[in-house]
Structure 1
Amino acid sequence: MTNPTAIIADDEDLQRLDLKRMLKAVWPELNIVAECEDGGDALDAIANLQPDIAFLDIRMPEINGLDVARASDGKCRVVFTTAFDNHAIEAFKLGAIDYLLKPITDERLQQSIDRIKAQMETGALPQNLMQVMAALDQKLRAPSEAERIKWISASLGNTIKLFPIDEVLFFESDLRYTRVVSAKDEGHIRTSIKELQKGLDPDQFWQIHRSVMVNPHAIARARRDEMGNIFVELRDHPEQLKVSQTYAWRFKSM
């Protein structure tokens, strides 16, 4: 029987090194096949190396641990590492996904390893992954009602335009600006997609690409092309928005 394999994904070098050291001590047979600095590297490692386990930091830039777990689609067992408090991680009780609260203790890591070994002996994979992900989104991403963005002030040339957030169809970022697009108008802001997310209801805007968030109520349909790429067609706008593989889980039923 071959030794189990794992990847570690954390954007903090010291956190990755500490977890690797601790894993070597409590599970010397475990082969760490990749150490990833961000979610994109983690997705590549899971696809190319097919590890048995992925230790994922929840809060990573661009593509976070939640999205990596979704995109992995049950291909490996997931253990989240997180600095969030116990209120946030109540969501883990909904499914068989484990977590390690930072700073990680030897005792808690051993408990997690024992649980993983028991699952691997039976061949069981975690259930209710999408349910857990949805609950975590609500706990970790949703701003309070008072913090939510209600209006967007965006510029077009020398003109400043005011967009009610309910009328925005999608946001699309490039290196300098983010487009704010409604059915009849558009403008530009300097706020990144990552910063916008902090003030938006995750049910009101879905991220479908690292540079695109779309209002799901504006989606008329989603289609696949001959290469398997997913595109979103909008009800009140001619543009079609490409969905990256990371967020293809939103349209899994296709």
Structure 2
Amino acid sequence: MAQIRALVAEDESILSYALLQALGRLWPELQICGVVENGVAAVQEALAQQPDILFLDIKMPGKTGLEVAQELAEEWPEGPAFPLIVFVTAYDEYAIQAFEHSASDYVLKPISDERLAKTVGRLKARLDNSQERSSELERVVGQLRSLMPQAAAETERLEVIRAAVGNQIRMIPVADVLYFEATDKYINVVTAEHSSLIRTSLKDLLPQLDSKLFWQIHRSTVVNTRQVQVAIRDETGKLTLKLRGSDDVLHVSRVYAHLFRQM
């Protein structure tokens, strides 16, 4: 069997050292291919290294462990097996949520050899099961869907968006929006006529939109379904959307592809 490789994402150096020492005792043949200290680096290194196992701290700077898992599920290339995910957390409520919804396992801080040994045993069993291993990405994608935030029923719906354009305020009816696209600190509001930037986040914007009409299709994109002309699935199963009155093509991530299944 090929050597098993693991990537560790933990922002506290003392705790990452403790985990590495415990893994060295319990699984000496495991190769640690990297240790990173934030969620952004975790995504970058996981995509570059393509490890077999990913130990993810739930609460990290940049991106949370769950956000890292979602981004990897969206961006993971075709072919390589998706890593088994283990969440490492000091908060039991987070651990239970992670274990039930999107992780192969979880361990609590401070690291216990007894508890970690059980995790190691489960990981080895999953790695030995080729059928289960090949379906890991599909399993994680399905479980991540249950973690998607739901808009609050009592939230007042946006009717008009006010976007600053130079020394003017552009009044944009929400019904005219083709899609919203999150950038670093802004959201790009795209209509058939123009694009405008507003300073907010998708997390804050989503509860103000009608969830029956506005669907999140990617971690950074929300589309107005009334403006979707057709959804196209290519030979690899990837989905793209063509919009009315626009040449823009939107990509639908694996996490949200189920929204476009045939009725």
Same fold (TM over 0.5): yes
- Post-superposition offset of 1:20: 2.9
Q: Matched residues in 2 for 1:243 and 1:11: separation?
A: 32
Aligned to 1:129: 140
Q: Matched residues in 2 for 1:156 and 1:24: separation?
A: 56
Aligned to 1:36: 36
8 Å CA contact 1:43, 1:71 repeated in 2 = no
Partner SS for 2:85: strand
- Post-superposition offset of 1:67: 2.5
Q: Matched residues in 2 for 1:207 and 1:83: separation?
A: 32
Aligned to 1:86: 93
8 Å CA contact 1:42, 1:68 repeated in 2 = no
Q: Matched residues in 2 for 1:200 and 1:28: separation?
A: 51
8 Å CA contact 1:58, 1:65 repeated in 2 = no
8 Å CA contact 2:182, 2:202 repeated in 1 = yes
Gap runs ≥5 in structure 1: none
CA deviation map 1:34-67 (0-9, x unaligned): 2234555444444443322122345563652232
Aligned to 2:162: 154
Aligned to 1:232: 241
Partner SS for 1:35: strand
Q: Which amino acid aligns with 1:154?
A: R
Partner SS for 1:86: helix
Q: Matched residues in 2 for 1:144 and 1:13: separation?
A: 38
Aligned to 1:19: 19
Aligned to 2:49: 49
1:213 paired residue among 218, 221, 227: 221
Alignment map for 1:149-228 (pairs within 5 Å): 150-151=157-158, 153-157=161-165, 158-159=168-169, 161=171, 163-164=173-174, 168-174=177-183, 177-182=186-191, 187-193=196-202, 196=205, 204-208=214-218, 212-215=220-223, 217=225, 218-223=227-232
1:67 paired residue among 61, 65, 71: 71
**Number of matched residues?**
242
- CA-atom RMSD in angstroms: 4.3
Change (3 A) 1:95 1:38: closer
- Post-superposition offset of 1:251: 4.7
8 Å CA contact 2:182, 2:188 repeated in 1 = yes
8 Å CA contact 1:161, 1:187 repeated in 2 = no
- Post-superposition offset of 1:133: 1.4
8 Å CA contact 1:79, 1:98 repeated in 2 = yes
Q: Matched residues in 2 for 1:202 and 1:19: separation?
A: 41
Does residue 77 (structure 1) correspond to residue 87 (structure 2)? The answer is no
Does residue 9 (structure 1) correspond to residue 13 (structure 2)? The answer is no
Change (3 A) 1:207 1:35: farther
- Post-superposition offset of 1:33: 0.4
Change (3 A) 1:4 1:215: same
Q: Matched residues in 2 for 1:163 and 1:12: separation?
A: 46
Change (3 A) 1:41 1:239: farther
8 Å CA contact 1:88, 1:136 repeated in 2 = no
Q: Which amino acid aligns with 2:84?
A: R
Change (3 A) 1:131 1:242: closer
Q: Matched residues in 2 for 1:178 and 1:159: separation?
A: 16
Alignment map for 1:87-102 (pairs within 5 Å): 89-90=96-97, 92-93=99-100, 97-102=104-109
Aligned to 1:113: 120
- Post-superposition offset of 1:182: 4.7
Change (3 A) 1:7 1:162: same
Identity %: 30
8 Å CA contact 1:154, 1:188 repeated in 2 = no
8 Å CA contact 1:3, 1:30 repeated in 2 = yes
